[in-house]
Amino acid sequence: MTAAGRERPDLTAITRAASREAGGTPADLLGDYLATVLDAARTGRRLTAAELAGHGRSGERAAENGVALRGLVDLYLSATWRLWRELPGGDGTVAALRAAGLAVLRAADDAVAAAAEGFEQAHLSIAHRQEAERIEFLDDLLGGRGSMPDLVARGARLGLALAGRHQVVLADGPAGMRYGGPQGLAVERLIAGAVAPAPSLAMIRGGRLVAVIGVVDGGEAGRAAAALSSGRVDASEVSGPSWQVAIGRGFTGPAGVLRSYGEATDALDVAGRLSLASPVVHAADLLMYRVILRDRTALADLVGTVLEPLSGARDGAGPLLETLDAYFASGQVAAQAARKLYLSVRAVTYRLARVRALTGKNPADPADALALQVAVIGARLLDWPATPLESG
């Protein structure tokens, strides 16, 4: 502190110097801070509610303008110690110096706390607005709503250049996951890290992950799926059984994203219906099943016509369907089907003979085998015989 009688400190010069020292943090964020600290040092008073509210608004402006909290705090503290060097010395007694020092420190503490609280509140509000914008954008994009120029512009604000190629990764994950929760944020970070430097937008909704991923080298979606299907996103946040992941093909434009999403949705549905062992399925590999499912009425008619007679077997259609499935999966080799089913070859051939007797179709005959195999696939997709077939 300076000797008594010195002129009032140059608050403008102190403010500019503090701004430079704080890495260029805007000087106007200090507001009337230095004037109030100067008065507090002279009178020993606390900052008023109105003054604290003003510093809170400064914190809000800092967050909205992208100023880091560290820079804001540095600005206040730099201004404080610079002002302290310029304060009048009062009567020069130890008691007076102590009182002034306590008043300055208390004012600085209160002002910084108010500014930090305003910053955090604004930051949270910004995060909520961004979250709402992301949710609304993905809902419109995946729901086929909105014009292409509007979707492209909104996607650009979120980091997606929708004019280029994108793929959708869809995954069923641990129950109870939600967008914005710790697990959801962990998954978003995982996706972003796996596909970098390609852009991505991921969202957890009701335990299902939807990720729109830009295509740069072509391997981004596969890397994201591999990371998810590992079954462990983060040891402290997400652990448990592997995710079931489906990858749609890459297409351009908003309509392309919608198409990829539809493919991934169908692929995930097929994977569940067929109980596929692979944790990652590609829509391109399941196009045949999409074709089969496209006309469910015709599929139900096929299953009913070809396989309904199997219901007359002593143990029902289930064991015979299981045998046909293993038989076709083994390349129509009874010995391999027997090993897959943990049965004797004789038991398998007996069951195949029963299929022929009940349906009139020979599993070993190419023409009959095609009809039987498609019907068996249809039965699994329609969950027959557990679920009754819909009549046409």
Last residue of a domain, one of 253, 285, 317: 285
Q: Does 157 map to a domain?
A: no
Q: Does 110 map to a domain?
A: yes
Q: Does 310 map to a domain?
A: yes
CATH number of the domain encompassing residue 300: 1.10.10.2840
Taking only the tens place, the pLDDT of each residue in 31-62 is 999 999 999 988 889 999 999 999 999 999 99
Least confident window among 19-28, 123-132, 235-244:
235-244
- Whether residues 299 and 278 share a domain: the answer is no
- Whether residues 172 and 267 share a domain: the answer is yes
- Whether residues 90 and 172 share a domain: the answer is no
- Whether residues 267 and 314 share a domain: the answer is no
Q: Does residue 177 surpass a pLDDT of 60?
A: no
- Whether residues 328 and 357 share a domain: the answer is yes
- Whether residues 93 and 119 share a domain: the answer is yes
State which residues form the domain around 307. 295-381
Last residue of a domain, one of 254, 285, 316: 285
- Whether residues 179 and 278 share a domain: the answer is yes
The pLDDT assigned to 238 comes to 47
pLDDT band, residue 183 (cuts 50/70/90): low
Q: Does 154 map to a domain?
A: no
Q: Does residue 8 surpass a pLDDT of 90?
A: no
Q: pTM to 2 decimals?
A: 0.62
- Whether residues 100 and 188 share a domain: the answer is no
- Whether residues 262 and 310 share a domain: the answer is no
Q: Does 5 map to a domain?
A: no
pLDDT band, residue 240 (cuts 50/70/90): very low
Q: How many domains does the chain have?
A: 3
- Whether residues 52 and 94 share a domain: the answer is yes
Taking only the tens place, the pLDDT of each residue in 107-148 is 999 999 999 999 998 878 877 777 788 888 988 998 888 888
Taking only the tens place, the pLDDT of each residue in 85-102 is 887 665 567 787 888 888
> What SS3 string covers the chain?
CCCCCCCCCCHHHHHHHHHHHCCCCCHHHHCCHHHHHHHHHHHCCCCCHHHHHHHHHHHHHHHHCCCCHHHHHHHHHHHHHHHHHHCCCCCCCHHHHHHHHHHHHHHHHHHHHHHHHHHHHHHHHHHHHHHHHHHHHHHHHHCCCCCHHHHHHHHHHCCCCCCCEEEEEEEECCCCCCCCCHHHHHHHHHHHHHHCCCCEEEEEECCEEEEEEECCCCCHHHHHHHHHHCCEEECCCEECCCCEEEECCCEEHHHHHHHHHHHHHHHHHHHHHHCCCCCEEEHHHHHHHHHHHHCHHHHHHHHHHHHHHHHHCCCCCHHHHHHHHHHHHCCCCHHHHHHHHCCCHHHHHHHHHHHHHHHCCCCCCHHHHHHHHHHHHHHHHCCCCCCCCCCC
